[in-house]
Amino acid sequence: MMHTPQSNRKNEHLSLATKFWREGSNPQVGATFDDIRWIPGPLQDISLDEVQPSVQLLSHDFDWPFYIEAMTGGSESTKRVNGDLASTAAVTNIAMAVGSQSVALKDPNQADSFEVVRKNNPNGFLIANLGADHPIENVRAAVNMIDANAIELHTNVGQELTMAEGDRSFYWLDNLATIIAKSPVPVIIKEVGFGMGPDLLKQLDALHPAAINIGGGNGTSFAQIEQARDRKNENPLDLSSFGLSTVESLLAAEKAGIETPIIATGGIQSAKDVTTALMLGASAVSSAGHFLDTLMRDGRAGLQSEIELWQQQLPLYMTLLGAKKPNDLREAKRLYSADLKNSMQQF
């Protein structure tokens, strides 16, 4: 597989994302999951055997309400990572999204770094990935590339503007409406680390996608990654005061009265975080950076163990909170920190 500027960029994304997670140096913004505490509720007639963590979403029944979020693809090294992620998703029976496939549409030699996920996970639920500007022909090509069950279209204005070679024009709304109408699979509209406020959520909700992934802060920061790639400092841009965390974005969706199912990603690092996100209205939850860090540090066996730990813990947390189904968690009482409560009043 030849190295191209696009494949080199994918390698840089992977190495920098791993580096920042390992160092714990991802930028932190706003409220975190620690700003929410669970209040003991009344005694419930419930048994762990009655708890069913399965959810219905994207015209599919999932055994678990969390999955491996979009990370990578587009080079030889990222092919190995995608292969390991897909194999782990198959063994643990959770869904998986791939990173942006635009690199493979530009250079078909890179397609096998994405095709490996279907090869390693022939019966799993796989999510394709492209930017919000791609035409329907590219959407069909990306879906066909991995025989995808759904596709994410990412809205990443912040990332593009921090990238020295990034886009500077963003005419997306009409295209998103077209894709949603014509896509052969369900469409998820996704942010990539800056979260979503009430006005944006209402705007996207009106397009009637299959789901909205709020992509909040406190996880992998592509602004941080792109600035680190900009070694000549050609495009210094400080976005430290821009964006909402995952917790804040979930509360913004609640405030906006969104009917579209919400997926929460951004800083999800435990089954406890998954539980809190479901409490705050998420229909499903996904994790990228934490799973990537685990894979790079502990290998495929370590990642499998981590996912199985979440699968062991989540039903226990649900039992603790009297929830037989994930949606029941929305009724669980919680306490907000003073700072988070203040933020909520300003939406």
Contact 258, 276 (CB under 8 A): no
| CA quadruple 237, 243, 246, 248: dihedral sign | positive
Alpha carbons 225 and 210: distance in angstroms, whole number: 29
Residue 70 has what pLDDT?
Answer: 86
Residue 25 has what pLDDT?
Answer: 67
Domain span including residue 51: 5-346
> Confidence class of residue 60 from pLDDT cuts 50, 70 and 90?
very high
Residue 9 has what pLDDT?
Answer: 63
Number of structural domains in the chain: 1
pLDDT digits (tens, 9 = 90+) for 232-270: 777 678 888 889 999 999 999 999 999 999 999 999 999
Q: Which of 41, 37, 31, 30 is closest to 335 using CA atoms? A: 37
Reply yes or no on whether the pLDDT at 223 is more than 90: no
Contact 66, 268 (CB under 8 A): yes
Least confident of 68-82, 182-196, 265-279: 68-82
Q: Catalogue the E-assigned strands of 255-339.
A: 262-265, 284-287, 334-336
> Confidence class of residue 163 from pLDDT cuts 50, 70 and 90?
confident
Q: What is the CATH number of the domain that holds 119?
A: 3.20.20.70
pTM of the model: 0.94
